[in-house]
């Protein structure tokens, strides 16, 4: 039996507004008049319809499906899992917060890598967790998640949850699924592995498939589907975790517009394939240009390149020079990673002035 946060362990919470799609399934027919939902009636020449058209206005006017069933259906097919193994929420960040709420009680220990995606720590602090950080390992100059050390820390502290970004953000390094399975098998029985796979679409298809025991795999449509502004993501997890997170999730968090866009994107895999191919081509071109300028890079399995400088001051100086030009690159906030700059694979990054500034020319 899965271990949830203490106040959720023996409680089942019922959603008072499960939405019209579930009502239609229950009664076996289509709802033709929505006069119980207290939505606004349609009016002619609404501001939204004039700016963006009637189709978007109609989506914006009506409440969304709380369970995003159409998105779930496509996510199940894409990943070779059952609908009971998928939950949809407003992007990977919301999913991080959701699984922390489901598993962690105030005072529980969570484990992560020092300097990894900082939003995890932000949400973990919000649920009252005690955070134990493990340093990146370095092999031949490459920073990467230290899986044995993470497992050891989880056991030593009897952690409720271990967070791992894979591919990692901000380093861009990647651990294959066999290594992830080994890591999970070494965790305490009650420890949930929260596997943030926001960049997994840039890896091999075989690495994306299936449900992993004791693991919540987080996905986003922001990177490889071009929908960052609409906030759509989903998690793949054992059925009991999906059932529990569905009980506590903000039910209308993913808007009708976002759900419709997600369905359209997932129904056209060729569009995502083109975006991924173009991104990888740009990433490789950016990496080659940076190497030609004498910079030290980490191997990337994402849509960005991480540059390692000798010290934090060197990275900060280049970041400030670019900011003065109105160009934003990311320097991780964690003290252990402030000697790194993360640069997105984008045509702007290949501009001569940008490359020269990053090289300190």
For residue 361, name the pLDDT band (cuts at 50, 70, 90).
Answer: low
Mean pLDDT, rounded, for 273-284: 97
Are residues 245 and 118 located together in one domain of the fold? yes
Are residues 153 and 250 located together in one domain of the fold? yes
Are residues 70 and 210 located together in one domain of the fold? yes
| Residue 269 vs residues 74, 206, 274: alpha-carbon distances, Å | 11, 16, 9
Does 107 reside within a domain? yes
User: Residue 69's pLDDT is what?
Assistant: 96
Does 1 reside within a domain? no
Region of 226 (left: φ > 0; alpha: ψ -120 to 50; beta: rest) is left
Higher pLDDT, 258 or 18: 258
Give the tokens for residue 312.
């934090």
Are residues 68 and 43 located together in one domain of the fold? no
User: Residue 209's pLDDT is what?
Assistant: 87
The answer to pTM > 0.85 is: yes
Mean pLDDT of the chain: 95
How many structural domains does the chain have?
A: 3
Are residues 123 and 205 located together in one domain of the fold? yes
Are residues 156 and 281 located together in one domain of the fold? no
pLDDT digits (tens, 9 = 90+) for 86-106: 999 999 999 999 999 999 999
Mean pLDDT, rounded, for 15-24: 88
Domain end call among 250, 267, 284: 267
In angstroms and rounded to an integer, the radius of gyration of the C-alpha atoms of the chain is: 22
Contact yes or no for 72/83 (Cβ under 8 A): yes
Question: CATH no. for residue 336?
Answer: 3.90.1150.10
Does 346 reside within a domain? yes
| Residue indicated by tokens 């651990």 | 175
Give the tokens for residue 188.
């305490």
At a CB cut-off of 8 Å and minimum separation 6, what does 32 contact? none
| pLDDT tops 80 at residue 1 | no
Are residues 181 and 302 located together in one domain of the fold? no
User: Residue 110's pLDDT is what?
Assistant: 98
Contact yes or no for 127/161 (Cβ under 8 A): no
Mean pLDDT, rounded, for 285-294: 96
Domain end call among 237, 267, 297: 267
Does 104 reside within a domain? yes
Are residues 81 and 55 located together in one domain of the fold? no
**Percent of the residues in the chain that have a pLDDT greater than 70, as a whole number:** 99
Does 108 reside within a domain? yes
Are residues 225 and 93 located together in one domain of the fold? yes
pLDDT digits (tens, 9 = 90+) for 322-347: 999 999 999 999 999 999 999 999 99
Least confident range from 20-24, 243-247, 286-290: namely 20-24
| pLDDT tops 70 at residue 210 | yes
pLDDT digits (tens, 9 = 90+) for 153-187: 999 999 999 999 999 999 999 999 999 999 999 99
Domain end call among 215, 246, 267: 267
User: Residue 180's pLDDT is what?
Assistant: 96
For residue 35, name the pLDDT band (cuts at 50, 70, 90).
Answer: confident
User: Residue 23's pLDDT is what?
Assistant: 86
Are residues 289 and 153 located together in one domain of the fold? no
**Structural domain range at position 82:** 6-13+64-267
Question: CATH no. for residue 194?
Answer: 3.40.640.10
Are residues 89 and 232 located together in one domain of the fold? yes
pLDDT digits (tens, 9 = 90+) for 244-271: 999 999 989 999 999 999 999 999 999 9
> Taken in order 43, 47, 49, 50, is the CA torsion positive or negative?
positive
Are residues 161 and 257 located together in one domain of the fold? yes
Does 42 reside within a domain? yes
């Amino acid at each position: 039996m899965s271990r949830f946060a203490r106040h959720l362990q023996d409680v089942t919470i019922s959603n008072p507004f499960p939405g019209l799609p579930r009502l239609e399934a229950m009664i076996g027919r289509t709802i033709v008049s929505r006069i119980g939902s207290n939505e606004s009636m349609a009016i002619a020449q609404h501001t939204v319809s004039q700016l963006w058209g009637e189709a978007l206005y109609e989506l914006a006017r009506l409440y969304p499906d709380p369970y995003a069933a159409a998105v779930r259906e496509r996510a199940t097919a894409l990943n070779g899992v059952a609908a009971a193994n998928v939950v949809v929420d407003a992007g990977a960040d919301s999913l991080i917060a959701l699984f922390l709420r489901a598993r962690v009680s105030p005072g529980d220990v969570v484990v992560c890598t020092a300097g990894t995606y900082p939003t995890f720590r932000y949400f973990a602090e919000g649920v009252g967790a005690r955070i134990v950080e493990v340093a990146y390992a370095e092999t031949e100059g490459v920073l990467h998640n230290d899986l044995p050390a993470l497992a050891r820390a989880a056991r030593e502290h009897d952690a409720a949850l271990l967070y791992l970004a894979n591919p990692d953000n901000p380093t861009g390094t990647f651990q294959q699924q066999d290594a992830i399975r080994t890591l999970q098998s070494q965790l305490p029985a009650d420890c949930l592995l929260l596997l943030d796979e926001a960049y997994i679409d840039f890896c091999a298809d075989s690495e994306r498939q299936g449900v992993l025991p004791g693991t919540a795999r987080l996905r986003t449509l922001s990177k490889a589907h071009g929908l960052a502004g609409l906030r759509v993501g989903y998690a793949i997890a054992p059925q009991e975790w999906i059932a529990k997170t569905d009980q506590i999730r903000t039910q209308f968090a993913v808007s009708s517009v976002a759900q419709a866009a997600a369905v359209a994107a997932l129904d056209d895999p060729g569009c995502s394939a083109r975006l991924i191919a173009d991104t990888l081509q740009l990433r490789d071109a950016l990496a080659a240009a940076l190497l030609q300028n004498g910079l030290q890079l980490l191997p990337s399995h994402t849509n960005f390149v991480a540059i390692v400088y000798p010290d934090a001051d060197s990275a900060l100086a280049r970041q400030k020079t670019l900011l003065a030009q109105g160009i934003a690159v990311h320097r991780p906030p964690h003290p252990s990673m402030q000697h790194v700059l993360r640069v997105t694979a984008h045509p702007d990054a290949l501009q001569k002035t940008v490359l020269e500034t990053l090289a300190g020319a």
